[in-house]
Amino acid sequence: MTDWTRPIRDVADFPKPGIVFKDIMPMLADPVAFAGAIEAMAAPWRDTEIDAVLAIEARGFLFGAPLARVLGAGIVPVRKPGKLPGRVLEQRYALEYGEDALQVQADAVSPGTRVLLVDDVLATGGTLAATRLLAERLEAEVVGAEVLIELGFLNGRARWNGSAPLHAALLV
């Protein structure tokens, strides 16, 4: 199998000084690499019953949708404020500087729905932790989380305090 990680490139000082940004765009544009990435993300969950993928805006959508199809699940977008109509649940979370928030539709899933959380990069873990809280407020059953890339040196995994598994297709 070809190495799907090869087209991913590091971009220094983006979007601000000191950040090494994982640019996944060349990997997405490469049909063989993209297929390899989706396969690597799906593999740990093939024997797990999953009703819905909770995909995190924006790059999480790019992986959440194909994963949902491969795993036979639906997809529920977790979005930045102001994008979803109707009643929404909101979860605020701390950023390095300031605060951000994520929303999900309050009726997105019924209680007990088995959900897998999906994003592109696990950095400090705040985004995934906020999404987990939203899933819990929906009374969904969180079966786990899948990210394409885990930045191990930031130890975001420490914020995933739960029994459900967190898997990264690529640990750097």
Q: Which residues have a catalytic role annotated?
A: 59, 96
Contact 120, 55 (CB under 8 A): no
Does 150 interact with ligand AMP (rule: CB under 6 A)?
Answer: no
Give the residue, chosen from 21, 90, 106, 167, that forms a contact with ligand AMP under the rule CB under 6 A.
21
Stretch that binds ligand AMP, among 18-26, 35-43, 45-53, 163-171 (CB under 6 A): 18-26
Q: Which residues, 6 or more positions from 154, have their beta carbon under 8 angstroms from its beta carbon?
A: 122, 123, 124, 125
> Residue 17: which residues within 8 A CB-CB, separation 6 or more?
none
Using the minimum distance from each CB to ligand AMP, give the nearer residue, 19 or 46.
19
In whole angstroms, how close is the CB of 49 to ligand AMP at the nearest point?
26
Q: Are 24 and 148 in contact (CB under 8 A)?
A: yes
DSSP one-letter string for 100-124: EEEEEETTSS-TT-EEEEEEEEESS
In this structure, are residues 67 and 100 in contact, taking their beta carbons and an 8 Å threshold?
no
Using rule CB under 6 A, residue 122 touches ligand AMP:
yes
Nearer to ligand AMP, 62 or 84 (CB): 62
Question: Which lies closer to ligand AMP via its Cβ, residue 38 or residue 56?
Answer: 56
Q: Binding to ligand AMP by residue 121, rule CB under 6 A?
A: yes
Residues near ligand AMP (CB under 6 A): 19-22, 56, 59, 119-127, 151, 156
